[in-house]
Amino acid sequence: MLARICPLSVVQGCLTRIERERGRFLHWVPVFLAIGIGVYFQLPVELGRYAYAGLGLLVALLGLVSVRWPWGVGPLVWGVVLVAAGLLLAAARAHYVAAPVLDFRYYGPVEGRIIAVDRSQKDAMRLTLDQVRLTDTALDRVPKKVRISLYGKEPYAPAIGQRVAITAHLSGPNGPVEPGGFDFQRMAWFRGIGAVGYSRNPVVLMARPDGHGVGVQITRLRMALSAWVREILPGETGAFAAAITTGDRSSMSRATLDALRGSNLAHLLAISGLHMGLLTGFVYQAARYLMALSPSVALHRPTKKIAAVLAMLAGAFYLLLSGGNVATERAYIMVATMLIGVLFDRRALSLRAVAMAAVIVLVLHPEALTEPGFQMSFAATTALVSVFGWIGQFRGRFGPRWVQPIMAVVLSSAVAAAATAPVAAAHFNQVSHFGLIANLLSVPLMGMLIMPAAVLAALLGPFGLGWLAIKLMALPIDWIIGVAYHVSSMEGAIGYVAQPPPTALPAVAVGGALIVLLSGREKIVGAALVVIGGVLWTNVDRPPVLISQTGGLVGVLKENGRALSKLKGDGFAASVWLENDGAPLPQSEAYALGAFRGDNGVSRSQIGAASLVHLSGKLGSTQLNEVCGMASLVVMNRYADQSTGECWVIDAEYLRHTGAIALWPELNGWRIETARARQGDRLWTRWQKDQQPWR
């Protein structure tokens, strides 16, 4: 019977094919690890210690078996081992970073040390504090880090390491603004941020920077260099230069950031693979050229390996200077892996080097798998290495030598854009139609002028002449900013797409990996997965009704877009909903669609045969009994003082346990999906079970 279902020749053929992959198994390691990590983040509940112990024992047993197993099956068993190991790695990391999360709403004095300064979504200055103290709060409940946005009118120039005090509103990190949306709670958990909030009060300096801690010293140096660069190059030019040299974006205006995103040039700001590659590449080539000037050195010394070491040292310094975030760390690991290949006389740019870098990053930071930076970086690098490896055999067939650099820039920009487009569309809900043009006009300047000028500034800095090199960056940076504004303002420059279902992007990613790793007709399997992911994406079912986690906003999907119940309020939820719909209108325009009618805190809308009423504010909440008899669903942002069986009431107490809600009308009522249910019972959500309203 088994022979009829699966002929022996087919089984033998599969085993033979698997055995051929034994020599290339390193290429598959990050794929299997990523699958395991992805499974961990999709679990509906956190596994217990016995489950993890059993899984660890299974990994050990399968690893032992795979070493002694007969021909052909070993790689398969190792694949299972790596998937389980990826799950265990992610779980271990999640438990390792565990820290208290504020489980009540706090208003009062907050004292702490400044460890980071950036800007919020609303373009307000934002401070991240550690060594936190809260009034009347037990030490074991005080968060390790808090992040506070400053909305006061009083100007303030913060310095890393200062100890400050401020009266602020704090609460635990908010959950997704809709079921299945971006999980800020999970991101904050892995970054150690246990509370977020805001203040309109002045900041009080309690103590000047004490200078203790290597991390604080490096951050202070980075911010000092950023201020020095902005002093030499004022305005947006200096802000751009500071961002690409030190990672400090706190001076970038929202308009410039939007222009860079709309023209697909925002990656120029992130200190990642492009910057690290340009910097280390410039140092590597410059070192080789300088050593070639001395015949004795060029003939008797391994100049290539010396240049590789110098490039790694330059990259390490750049890593420290930029703040050492995960994206920059990932970029340095990739570059260092390739340069180590040079030291051992291996190909510097190969899939093996990319795979090794991916493994190192996933082991150190498993949570990076869920972040767009990791996904875009490795998607672009893998695609570039594969494509240029394939066309390497056609070297010399693309015209004269002077044309080949131009062709390389065009091809690399096109390949990177194609590889990262699905990731950018999934995370940011937009596609830049003219991004290739903008990159062709901008990326060469980064490699030929801006990054070499940055290296020259570092070399001339000790002699007091670094400002000369910084000045050289002004014109090319102004050109890039001008290109960004021009391209992003062109008609049809930006296309918007709806948020895909959770299975779409993983299907596309795995399919793309299989296209790269498999050979011949086997690539059809990967192409089929990519097509399946695209079909899932195009058939996404957006919720007809969305309710914010505060109950202060309701969005109803109509033929002309999602109409909102309020002109103002819950602006972040409104913007995310509209972006996820693929129609990012201003909140005022979404309200003007007219699906809601009423006044004095009472807004009514009709969804098919169902009627919905949104009550907001104190005045609206007093009309619950009056509207309940004429509506099948009432949403309110306050606590219902009385219970009623005449209609379904979703009030602040209900939403405190469910988070944001999505609804689909049905014949016998509503189908409901909550943000908390989609998140599951995980480490980063458990604090909400006993959450208290205020203290």
Query: Comparing 180 with 272, which gets the higher pLDDT?
Result: 180
The last residue of one of the domains, among 51, 68, 96, is 96
Mean pLDDT of 142-154: 87
Q: Is the pLDDT confidence value at 3 over 50?
A: no
Question: Residue 238: inside a domain, yes or no?
Answer: no
Question: Residue 241: inside a domain, yes or no?
Answer: no
541 CB-side CA count, 13 A: 4
Instruction: Report pLDDT digits (tens) over 351-386.
Output: 887 888 889 889 989 999 998 888 888 888 888 888
Instruction: Report pLDDT digits (tens) over 329-359.
Output: 777 887 888 788 788 777 666 788 788 888 9
Are the CB atoms for 156 and 125 separated by under 8 Å? yes
| The pLDDT value given to residue 396 | 52
Q: Domain of 625?
A: 545-658
| The pLDDT value given to residue 643 | 59
Least confident of 73-82, 274-283, 390-399, 669-678: 390-399
User: How far apart (Å, rounded) are the C-alpha atoms in residues 58 and 77?
Assistant: 11
Q: Is the pLDDT confidence value at 23 over 60?
A: no
Same domain, 557 and 422: no
Q: Which of 516, 513, 511 is nearest to 526 (CA)?
A: 511
Same domain, 319 and 425: yes
| The pLDDT value given to residue 6 | 47
pLDDT, the chain, mean: 83
Same domain, 482 and 509: no
Mean pLDDT of 143-166: 84
| The pLDDT value given to residue 97 | 93
For residue 487 the two structure tokens come to 């391209």
| The pLDDT value given to residue 366 | 94
- pLDDT cut 90: percent of the chain above it: 24
Q: Is the pLDDT confidence value at 670 over 70?
A: yes
For residue 158 the two structure tokens come to 């913060």
| The pLDDT value given to residue 694 | 42
Same domain, 85 and 129: no
Question: Residue 229: inside a domain, yes or no?
Answer: no
Same domain, 318 and 428: yes
Instruction: Report pLDDT digits (tens) over 406-456.
Output: 677 777 778 878 888 888 888 888 888 888 888 888 888 887 888 888 888
| The pLDDT value given to residue 210 | 67
Question: Residue 235: inside a domain, yes or no?
Answer: no
Question: Residue 537: inside a domain, yes or no?
Answer: no
| The pLDDT value given to residue 71 | 53
Same domain, 468 and 604: no
Question: For the chain, what percentages of helix, strand and coil (3-state, to nearest 5) are there?
Answer: 55, 15, 30
Most trustworthy range by pLDDT among 21-30, 119-128, 184-193, 580-589: 184-193
Question: Residue 81: inside a domain, yes or no?
Answer: yes
Same domain, 74 and 132: no
The last residue of one of the domains, among 212, 237, 258, is 212
Same domain, 318 and 369: yes
Instruction: Report pLDDT digits (tens) over 122-147.
Output: 778 899 998 999 988 888 889 999 99
Least confident of 25-29, 387-391, 609-613, 681-685: 387-391
Query: How many domains does the chain fold into?
Result: 5
pTM for the whole structure: 0.84
Same domain, 491 and 510: no
Same domain, 428 and 468: yes
- pLDDT cut 70: percent of the chain above it: 87
What is the enclosing helix (H) or strand (E) of 77? Answer: helix 74-96
Instruction: Report pLDDT digits (tens) over 95-115.
Output: 999 999 998 899 999 999 998
Question: Residue 686: inside a domain, yes or no?
Answer: no
Query: Comparing 407 with 301, which gets the higher pLDDT?
Result: 301
Can you give the CATH number for the domain in which 168 is found? 2.40.50
Same domain, 399 and 264: yes
Give how far Cα 471 sits from Cα of 449, 460, 474, 477, 531, Å.
11, 13, 6, 10, 49
Q: Which of 480, 395, 400 is nearest to 441 (CA)?
A: 480
Same domain, 171 and 263: no
Q: Is the pLDDT confidence value at 314 over 90?
A: no
Question: Residue 550: inside a domain, yes or no?
Answer: yes
Least confident of 337-351, 440-454, 510-524, 657-671: 337-351
Q: Where are the alpha helices (DSSP H) in 432-564?
A: 435-445, 451-460, 466-472, 474-488, 504-517, 523-538
| The pLDDT value given to residue 434 | 86
At residue 644 the predicted structure's pLDDT band, cuts being 50, 70 and 90, is low
Max Cα distance, the chain (Å): 95
| The pLDDT value given to residue 332 | 83
Mean pLDDT of 222-229: 84
Residue with tokens 């890593």: 319
Q: Output the CA torsion 257→279→483→372 (10° steps).
A: -40
